[in-house]
Amino acid sequence: MPLSAQLHKLLCVCHIVSYFDYQKKVCQLLCLYNLRYNEDTQKFGFGHQLFIYFVCFWSLLCLPFYLMFLDGYVIDRGSLFIYLLPCIYYKYLESSMLGTLNEMAKVHRKLHSTLGTMFCVSVKRAYCCSWLISIELVFVIYWQIESLKNDIQRLFVFSCLFGWHLQLLLLVNSYIWLQSIYVVMNQIFTLNQLTNEEHWKRFRTVIKQHGTVQQIQRDISHYFSVYMCSVVVLLTSIFYRAVSEAGFDWDQRRLVLLRLQFWHIRYFGNLVLLIGTLLMVLCDYKSERNKFLKAMWNTQDRLQITWSSISSNRCKQTPDVLDLMILTGNSYRNMICTTVTLWELRIKKDIVLTLETACFMNYFFLLMLTVCLVPIIAIANGFKIDLEHKLLNYAFYEVYSNNSDPLSLTIDNLTMYSYVLSHALE
């Protein structure tokens, strides 16, 4: 979304938008999507790029080969199904997401033209979060691709893995933009050099855009609902898979409570890092939105004086902020909102399931607490933790040809390190 105004403050909203433009250009250079912004119409549209279509076709072509060689995946077996479903769902809603992006551009232009220099406000925290999530994603993708011990595996998994992580980048960037917009709208309550009439006009425009911003946030929670569901599945499965692989080890006469392999720790740590950044951005967004709602209700007296001078004959009743929100198109559910909808699954226009950010954060911290307490309690009750390793020579796949010996691809000398929490049997 290009801006015509000069940059007035360091790391302001203008810098955030420019940074998103750089991300978009990099993604287009890598042929990751075909979304284009038309400066003449000031709208987003689909660009027709043959190379991008070829990459999509290649990703679909890799899927059956992955299914054929599924038994040969030693590490992260079957996780492509978790990565693939959000990608398919996002592709299904791509046209709807296009409409939401156009609404975001429209709100951005409207506030920029209404607030003028007040629009250029510093958002250093949001700018740092946008850089942080990009750096984290680069390292996480590298770690996951590097952990695969075969080039064929890397080739097949990379397309879906990259698409899955790019959805997180778009999700975080969306909330960073929402947070920045609320920071801009909060400027209307902090600057007092405006006259009552100017303040009234700008305040009414900001309140009208508030309803649109709230709807954009709910649409974003809808588009990424399946993605967030896959995140919950990954976080839960990694820990409980380590528990399910435990049991009795009769050869060494011990009870194994937890068998935590290094790749379990790496995946769990990567996801915790990424989701922690997402939750930090969500908390910043919620804080700025609540600050806006609180400041809006605190301007009751000033608006009553201003509105009374504009419309004095209204059945001798003084209008208030509630009347203003209704007249500007804000729904009743957005008048006093204390939660953020993180996940909203819809069928057509009917809401089926919703998940609030507070519920997800409670689940996230409860899982972290379980991961920390289980080893501590076990060790306090006599369990010992040991580092073990074993060598694997795994056949990747096998083909029998006519009048010849079997052909096979093997992964030789693959070392699996794992922490084993066990108790010796008497």
**Token pair 């156009």 is at which residue?**
102
- Residue 75 lies inside a defined structural domain of this protein: yes
What's the CA gap between 5 and 14, in Å, rounded? Answer: 9
- Residue 211 lies inside a defined structural domain of this protein: yes
- Residue 389 lies inside a defined structural domain of this protein: no
Among 267, 62, 275, 32, CA closest to 166:
32
Strands (E), 309-369: 341-347, 350-356
pLDDT at 362 over 80: yes
228: confidence class by pLDDT, cuts 50, 70, 90: confident
One-character DSSP codes across 98-118: HHHHHHHHHHHHHHHHHHGGG
- Residue 405 lies inside a defined structural domain of this protein: no
- Residue 44 lies inside a defined structural domain of this protein: yes
pLDDT at 313 over 60: no
**Number of structural domains in the chain:** 1
Helix, strand or coil, per DSSP, at residue 249: strand
Q: Taking residues 138-157, what's their average pLDDT?
A: 75
Q: Taking residues 246-261, what's their average pLDDT?
A: 81
pLDDT at 237 over 70: yes
The per-residue pLDDT for 414 is 62
90-133 confidence digits (pLDDT tens): 778 877 888 888 888 888 888 888 887 788 888 888 888 888 99
**Selection from 32-36, 235-239, 296-300, 334-338 with the highest mean pLDDT:** 235-239
- Residue 334 lies inside a defined structural domain of this protein: yes
One-character DSSP codes across 196-236: HHHHHHHHHHHHHHHHHHHHHHHHHHHHTHHHHHHHHHHHH
Rounded to 5 degrees, what are φ and ψ at 246? -85, -175
284: confidence class by pLDDT, cuts 50, 70, 90: very high
Q: Which helix (H) or strand (E) holds 88?
A: helix 80-92
Among 37, 46, 4, 164, CA closest to 104:
37
The per-residue pLDDT for 178 is 92
7: confidence class by pLDDT, cuts 50, 70, 90: very low
What's the CA gap between 14 and 6, in Å, rounded? Answer: 9
Angle at 103 between CA 126 and CA 164, to 5 degrees: 60
Q: What does the DSSP 8-state code read for residue 138?
A: H
**Token pair 């795994």 is at which residue?**
394
Q: Which tokens hold the place of 153?
A: 């595996």
1: confidence class by pLDDT, cuts 50, 70, 90: very low
Distance of CA 286 to the CA centre of its chain: 15
Q: What does the DSSP 8-state code read for residue 75?
A: S
Range of the domain at 116: 13-383
What's the CA gap between 332 and 30, in Å, rounded? Answer: 44
Q: Taking residues 77-100, what's their average pLDDT?
A: 77
Q: Which helix (H) or strand (E) holds 22?
A: helix 13-29
- Residue 311 lies inside a defined structural domain of this protein: yes
Q: Taking residues 197-210, what's their average pLDDT?
A: 80
Percent of the chain with pLDDT strictly greater than 90: 4
Would you say 257 and 414 are in contact if contact means Cβ atoms under 8 Å apart? no
Would you say 244 and 403 are in contact if contact means Cβ atoms under 8 Å apart? no
**Selection from 194-208, 300-314, 339-353, 374-388 with the highest mean pLDDT:** 374-388
